[in-house]
């Protein structure tokens, strides 16, 4: 890494708004089957790059039926999906030096971190992470009538169309960006 990149100010790094759809809730057991990424200029909140991919699962025996209902997994739509290795290699390249952003960052990061470990793809992101849920929680007193902090609840509160079902990771990141824009206007 060159000296200029090492010295890059945290406020100049791109935002890697990320959403994953998974075969269950445990990153050590379940898999990412879809990844959505918006790379965003953090000063302007303009999208500078976009990436989405279905990922071919390999552990069909441990899939959680409720998770699959949410994300609409079916073998036909995922038949020609690339491997986790292929997707993580692209993701690692696109997110170099970026700040990881997600709604419920613990969940999404646990799967991304596990995917980096499983594939050996090099994580070159900044080590800081930004959680939209935490940002919303810190301002909940400014949002009269808001009683939940789920992404759907925040979208409803800010008049942003909720993510359709089945969930698609790219729709999730688009909604996360829209919510982030609203949260930063307050």
pLDDT confidence of residue 6: 55
Structure confidence by residue, pLDDT tens digits, 145-167: 888 999 999 999 999 999 888 99
CB burial of 133-153 (b: ≥16 within 10 Å; e: otherwise) equals bebbeeeeeebeebeebebee
Q: What is the mean pLDDT of residues 34-58?
A: 97
Q: Read off the pLDDT band of 60 (50, 70, 90).
A: confident
Angle at 36 between CA 30 and CA 40, to 5 degrees: 135
Q: Kindly state the helix (H) or strand (E) to which residue 36 belongs, with its residue range.
A: strand 32-40
| CA pair distance 144, 142, nearest whole angstrom | 6
| CA pair distance 152, 96, nearest whole angstrom | 29
Domain residues of the chain, as ranges?
Answer: 3-185
pLDDT confidence of residue 7: 63
Q: Are strands 47-54 and 129-131 parallel, antiparallel or unpaired?
A: unpaired
- Bridge partners (DSSP) of residue 99 are 15
Whether the per-residue pLDDT at 21 is higher than 60: the answer is: yes
CATH superfamily of 3-185: Ribonuclease H-like superfamily/Ribonuclease H (3.30.420.10)
């Amino acid at each position: 890494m060159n000296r200029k990149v090492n010295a890059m100010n945290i406020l100049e790094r791109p935002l890697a708004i990320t959403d994953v759809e998974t075969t269950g809730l445990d990153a050590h057991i379940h898999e990412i089957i879809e990844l959505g990424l918006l790379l965003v200029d953090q000063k302007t909140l303009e999208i500078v790059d976009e990436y989405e991919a279905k990922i071919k699962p390999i552990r069909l025996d441990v899939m959680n039926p409720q998770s699959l209902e949410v994300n609409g997994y079916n073998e036909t739509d995922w038949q020609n999906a690339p491997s986790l290795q292929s997707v993580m290699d692209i993701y690692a390249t696109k997110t170099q030096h970026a700040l990881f952003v997600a709604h419920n960052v613990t969940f999404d990061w646990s799967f991304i971190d596990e995917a980096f470990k499983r594939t050996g793809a090099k994580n070159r992101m900044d080590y800081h992470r930004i959680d939209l849920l935490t940002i919303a929680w810190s301002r909940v007193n400014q949002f009269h009538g808001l009683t939940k902090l789920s992404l759907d609840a925040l979208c409803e509160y800010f008049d942003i169309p909720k993510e359709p079902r089945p969930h698609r990771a790219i729709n999730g990141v688009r909604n996360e960006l829209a919510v982030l824009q609203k949260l930063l206007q307050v």
